[in-house]
Amino acid sequence: MKCISRTAAVALALALAGCPSDDGPAPPAGPCPDVEPIDGDVHVAPHGDDDARGRVDSPLATIQAAADRLDGGGVVAVADGTYDENLALTDHDGVEVRGRCPAAVTLAPTEPTAEAISLGSDVVLRGLTIVAPHAVEAVVAVGGTHAEVRDVVFRDPHKRAITAYGGARVDVRDVEIHDVTESPEGTHGRGLEVSRGALIDARRVLIDGAVELGINCNGGRLNLEDVVVRDVVPRGIDESGWGLNARGGCTAEIAGLTIEASTNRGINITGVGTSVVASGVRVADVDPADDDGSGFGIRLSTDASLELSDSVVERATGSALLIQNGADAVLRGVELLDTRRFRDTVFGRGLEMYGGSTLDAEDLSIRDAVGIGILVGGGDDTVTTAEVRGLSVTGTSRPDRRSARAVEVAPGGRLTLRGADVRSNEGIGLRIHGPDAVLVAIDSTVADMRTGGTLHPPHAVDLIEGGRLEGEDLRLEDNRGYGVTVVGSEVVLAGGHVTGTTGSWTPGSGAGILAQLGGTVTATGTRIADNAAAGLVATTGGAITCRDCDLDGNGFAGAAAVAQGRIELDGGRVTASRPSGDFGGGVGVYAWGWEYPGAPAQTTLVVTGTEFADTAHAPVYLLGDGDYRLEDVEIAAAGRIPAVLAIGPLGPVGTDVGEDGHVGGLRLRDVVIGGEGLDAVVLHGAGATLENVSFAGTFETDVYRQQCVDEAALVTDVDPVSNACEGWARPVLPSLDLTLALIDPDVQ
């Protein structure tokens, strides 16, 4: 006999069968050779006679006859052998039925219409194997009884192996239950069942094979310690197959539970008043019964509650942990690993929440989900709330051409992250979409987002359709695609940074923050640096306000307002912009007044109190119709590159510009232009309004005008050195046309 120690429960069960422990050599051959014969009050042996005296040398033949002789309790010593009988012990308080070990003593009930064994108060079963393929149930305790089942092996029980209900208590110790089958009527198939106020206290138990449920608690109490449940299959496609089911007001305390290879659900917790407090739980390899189903590692629903600590759920097909419909969860030190997708159209999810549920979590780790790491959504006009301190999400991968999402907040979901680390995932790091979808990220990092799928470029952060992000010291580092994209949604950032974004396959990618189609961003004290494309891009009705921001070392431009986008810079610095590999540039701020059909306003650039320095191209580059205002700004020109380059048609402030007659133009107010070079300002087919502008540098011409048209007037309260307007003497090429691929909010 070859023995392998696997878990505490399995190792102990093997020892009961005569196998060696990991700590010493095997005992001599034969069933339980190291166990001495039982010294009891009444003795039973297969060769006995029920009319005998019941001593060692004159044993009875049946256990029932021996128990009947013990008025007031005592020990029935069962000799090695097989006993074909049912036991009715409900009126035998204090009786202990003891065999030397399960390998030596077998009880094989013969009456198919009754329980194999019914227990009374203080009844103990010990050292037996119970083979019950015909009995209605194996062991049953009812009423106010307090019984114990110890060192017992169950094989092929029908319907239920151990049942307690109606206020009974059963202590289960060092027990194996194998291959529980359904009843002849086709119902049930459960290892342990407790209901109606009863209690089962189970320690060091193995349930290996059940049809329907490994453990069922319905309105009772359940204590589990070092319990293993594996290979639970459903009676039909939609009929359970769960490792543990807690419902109907069940209360359970768990310290060490392993559930392996269950079907549909590893643990199911549901119902008002149902409460589970658990630590040391491992749920592994949960698969749906068919291709249209889903497998949940743990499913918590319908106002139930769960406190789970130091636990792992791995290789669930569907969702590792589902919390829904008003349920409440507290997680501490939980890992959700290797969640797999189910069906071709549905992503796997490490953690998902819906329906007004709540979550409080610390040190939550989600790794290698195929699809979505964590999903929080409301549903049916409910608000679902979650706060996670110390979240780690890594290795989320896309199952097909669509993008994976490490963290997703859907309509009605409100998620707060503190100290989160979202790193090395595919697709989108943080996705917030839909009305009342809110994510608050504090002291958190999103880094190393990789290619997301051919339908959607990768993003560190993506908002669409009314979502909201509040970031405090949020760090977006070394991601591909975009740092932040905002479509019809709102972002508020305080501190933090967006750095090192590199491009993907879409034109214009590599930007730090992109706002479009009604998206708005307000950032305060945020560093936007070393991104492959522009640090800030607002387009097609998108708007970005950046206060005291540091825009440094970005490609193409520090900030760009394009096609009726709006950029406002208040304070801060724009420095060291460099040419982009796709579009050249290297300007400080860029505006392009290309008209986008349906966008709500003209292109707008407002810069107040901002410092410009060390840009590779013009610090201010304006192209086409728009509303451009610079106030209380210091700008330095260098060489043949002007400080301000404006390419018309563009009139001074207040001029009607464009076919729709809106008011736009260029205004410089309280601006100091320093440096040295050919020209401080070049107006190419453009006019401007200059108020209290100081040309502090050394220039051949302060304001150089060419290609003037009627609306290209120069209105000024100073007397700059200006030419009379040339035809086309100053080169303004290359003309910087920034091409962007608009993010399609319908691509999921």
pLDDT of res. 710: 63
**Of 130-139, 286-295, 374-383, 394-403, the least confident:** 286-295
Q: Which residue has the higher pLDDT, 291 or 164?
A: 164
Say which amino acid occupies 253: E
Query: Does the structure show a pLDDT above 90 at 358?
Result: yes
Looking at residues 202-218, what average pLDDT do you find?
Answer: 96
Cβ 359 vs Cβ 327: under 8 Å: no
pLDDT of res. 648: 79
Looking at residues 572-587, what average pLDDT do you find?
Answer: 84
pLDDT of res. 104: 94
Inter-CA distances, 691 with 435, 603, 671, Å: 44, 22, 8
Q: Which residue has the higher pLDDT, 237 or 352?
A: 352
For 209, which DSSP code?
E
pLDDT of res. 743: 47
Predicted confidence band of residue 663 (pLDDT cuts 50, 70, 90): low
**Of 178-182, 265-269, 487-491, the least confident:** 178-182
Strand partners, 195: 165, 219
How far is it, in rounded angstroms, from Cα 34 to Cα 362? 48
Under 8 Å CB-to-CB from 416, ≥6 apart: which residues?
Answer: 386, 387, 388, 439, 440, 441, 442
Nearest Cα neighbor of 215 from 195, 196, 239 is: 195
Helices (H), 17-167: 63-69
**DSSP letters along 451-506, please?**
---TTS--EEEEEETT-EEEEEEEEEES-BSEEEEEES-EEEEES-EEE--B--SS
pLDDT of res. 726: 72
The tokens describing 463, both together, are 């908002």
Looking at residues 130-135, what average pLDDT do you find?
Answer: 82
Query: Does the structure show a pLDDT above 50 at 193?
Result: yes
How far is it, in rounded angstroms, from Cα 584 to Cα 611? 22
Query: Does the structure show a pLDDT above 60 at 738?
Result: no
Predicted confidence band of residue 654 (pLDDT cuts 50, 70, 90): low
Q: List phi, psi (to 5°) of 609.
A: 65, 30
Highest mean pLDDT among 74-78, 155-159, 343-347, 681-685: 74-78
Cβ 616 vs Cβ 575: under 8 Å: no
pLDDT of res. 401: 63
pLDDT of res. 744: 46
pLDDT above 90 as % of the chain: 63
Highest mean pLDDT among 63-77, 580-594, 690-704: 63-77
Query: Does the structure show a pLDDT above 80 at 528?
Result: yes
Q: Are strands 694-695 and 663-686 parallel, antiparallel or unpaired?
A: parallel
Helices (H), 360-439: none
pLDDT of res. 23: 38
pLDDT of res. 17: 41
Q: What is the average pLDDT score of the chain?
A: 87
Looking at residues 150-168, what average pLDDT do you find?
Answer: 93
**Of 102-111, 124-133, 176-185, the least confident:** 176-185
Q: Are strands 655-656 and 663-686 parallel, antiparallel or unpaired?
A: antiparallel
Predicted confidence band of residue 134 (pLDDT cuts 50, 70, 90): confident
Looking at residues 313-328, what average pLDDT do you find?
Answer: 96
Looking at residues 621-630, what average pLDDT do you find?
Answer: 88
The tokens describing 180, both together, are 């529980």
Secondary structure of residue 8 in the 3-state scheme: helix
Predicted confidence band of residue 342 (pLDDT cuts 50, 70, 90): confident
pLDDT of res. 4: 30
Q: Is the dihedral of CA 560, 563, 566, 568 positive or negative?
A: positive
Query: Does the structure show a pLDDT above 70 at 224?
Result: yes
How far is it, in rounded angstroms, from Cα 265 to Cα 243? 7
Query: Does the structure show a pLDDT above 70 at 16?
Result: no
Residue-wise pLDDT tens digits, 96-107: 999 999 999 999
Peptide bond into 112 cis (omega under 30): no
Peptide bond into 28 cis (omega under 30): no
Secondary structure of residue 141 in the 3-state scheme: strand
How far is it, in rounded angstroms, from Cα 618 to Cα 611? 13
Cβ 692 vs Cβ 673: under 8 Å: no
Query: Does the structure show a pLDDT above 80 at 640?
Result: no
Residue-wise pLDDT tens digits, 17-33: 443 333 333 333 457 77
The tokens describing 745, both together, are 């909010």
Query: Does the structure show a pLDDT above 80 at 277?
Result: yes
Predicted confidence band of residue 720 (pLDDT cuts 50, 70, 90): confident
Predicted confidence band of residue 132 (pLDDT cuts 50, 70, 90): confident
Predicted confidence band of residue 655 (pLDDT cuts 50, 70, 90): low
For 9, which DSSP code?
H
Predicted confidence band of residue 461 (pLDDT cuts 50, 70, 90): very high
pLDDT of res. 5: 33
